[in-house]
């Protein structure tokens, strides 16, 4: 290196570019020191602080956006669940109403049938009573007729007991037949 320097110096006369000037070393040191001081002590901390704040702001913004999105999704999920629940509830209520209606209808029908049955039975009972009454009336009628018949028989000569009996029987048969017709 020294050889090269001396060679260079010999070739170019006095000038040797590898030998620094003392005053340039001093000025260079000062020029560098001043810039280094200002940049290291003052300016770099400031820009680093700002860059950190910017990163924080951006990351904070992203985080907040993510939180908001998560919240919105949770809310949407909740609404969806509530809606489904409400629909289910409505369906259940409809089903219940339908069942109740069916039950009510069945009950009404049952009641109506019972009422009809009751009316029919009452009618039957009435008819039976009427029949009984008619029958009772008939019986009194038969008594009266019998008395009339007995008068007639007494009035007539008792020729033949057998004939008498036949007459009575015939009469009773006729009576029977007519009374039955009357009842019907």
Partner 1 sequence: MTALTLLAADPDKFTPPTPQELFELAPIAGIGWLTKPVLLAILSSIIVIAFCWSAFSKPKLVPRGIQNVAEIGYTFVRDQVARPFLGKDADRWMGLLLTLFFLIWVWNLMGVVPVLQFPVASHIAFPAILALTIYVLKIYLGIKHQGAIGYFKNMMFPPGVPKAMYILLSPLEFASNMILAPFTHAVRLFANMFAGHMLLAFFSLVGFWFLFEQLTPLGAPIGVLGVVMTIVFTALELLIQFLQAFLFAMLAAMYIGGALHPEH
Q: Does 31 bind partner 1 (CB under 8 A)?
A: yes
Nearest-approach distance from CB 60 to partner 1, in angstroms: 12
* Cα-based torsion angle of the residue sequence 173, 174, 180, 183 in order, rounded to the nearest 10 degrees: -140
Q: How far is the CB of 61 from partner 1 (least distance, A)?
A: 11
Candidates 2, 3, 4, 13; binder of partner 1 (CB under 8 A) is 13
Would you state the structure tokens that stand for residue 132, as one six-digit string? Answer: 């009984």
Query: Is 91 a binder of partner 1 (CB under 8 A)?
Result: no
Q: Is 138 helix (H, G, I), strand (E, B) or coil?
A: helix
Residue 169 to residue 146: CA distance in whole angstroms: 12
The answer to whether residue 59 forms part of the interface with partner 1 (CB under 8 A) is no
3-state secondary structure 45-66: HHHHHHHHHHHHHHHHHHHHHH
Of the candidates 6, 50, 103, 164, which one interacts with partner 1 according to CB under 8 A?
A: 50
Binding residue for partner 1, selected from 6, 54, 84, 136, defined by CB under 8 A: 54
Residue 21 makes contact with partner 1 by CB under 8 A? yes
Burial of 9 (0-12, 13-18, 19+ CB in 10 A): middle
Q: Could you tell me which stretch among 20-28, 76-84, 95-103, 127-135 binds partner 1 (CB under 8 A)?
A: 20-28
135 and 183 in contact (C-beta within 8 Å)? Answer: yes
One of 7, 27, 116, 145 touching partner 1 (CB under 8 A): 27
- Of 18 and 86, which has the nearer Cβ to partner 1? 18
**27 Cβ neighbours under 8 A, 6+ residues apart:** none
User: Cα 65 from chain centroid?
Assistant: 37
Q: Is 36 in the site for partner 1 (CB under 8 A)?
A: yes
| Binding flag, residue 46, partner 1 (CB under 8 A) | yes
Task: Write out the residues near partner 1 by the rule CB under 8 A.
Answer: 1, 12-15, 17-21, 23-29, 31-32, 34-36, 38-51, 53-54, 57
């Amino acid at each position: 290196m020294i050889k090269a320097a001396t060679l260079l110096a010999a070739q170019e006369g006095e000038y040797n570019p590898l030998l620094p000037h003392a005053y340039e070393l001093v000025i260079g040191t000062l020029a560098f020191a001043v810039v280094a001081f200002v940049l290291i002590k003052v300016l770099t901390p400031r820009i680093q602080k700002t860059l950190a704040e910017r990163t924080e702001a951006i990351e904070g913004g992203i985080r907040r956006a993510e939180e908001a999105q998560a919240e919105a999704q949770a809310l949407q999920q909740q609404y969806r669940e509530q809606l489904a629940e409400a629909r289910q509830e409505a369906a259940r209520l409809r089903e219940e109403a339908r069942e109740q209606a069916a039950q009510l209808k069945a009950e009404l029908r049952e009641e109506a049938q019972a009422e009809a049955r009751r009316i029919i039975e009452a009618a039957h009972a009435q008819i039976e009573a009427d029949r009984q009454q008619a029958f009772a009336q008939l019986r009194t009628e038969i008594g009266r007729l019998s008395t009339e018949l007995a008068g007639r028989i007494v009035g007539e000569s008792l020729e033949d007991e057998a004939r008498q009996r036949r007459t009575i029987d015939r009469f009773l048969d006729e009576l029977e037949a007519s009374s039955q017709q009357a009842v019907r």
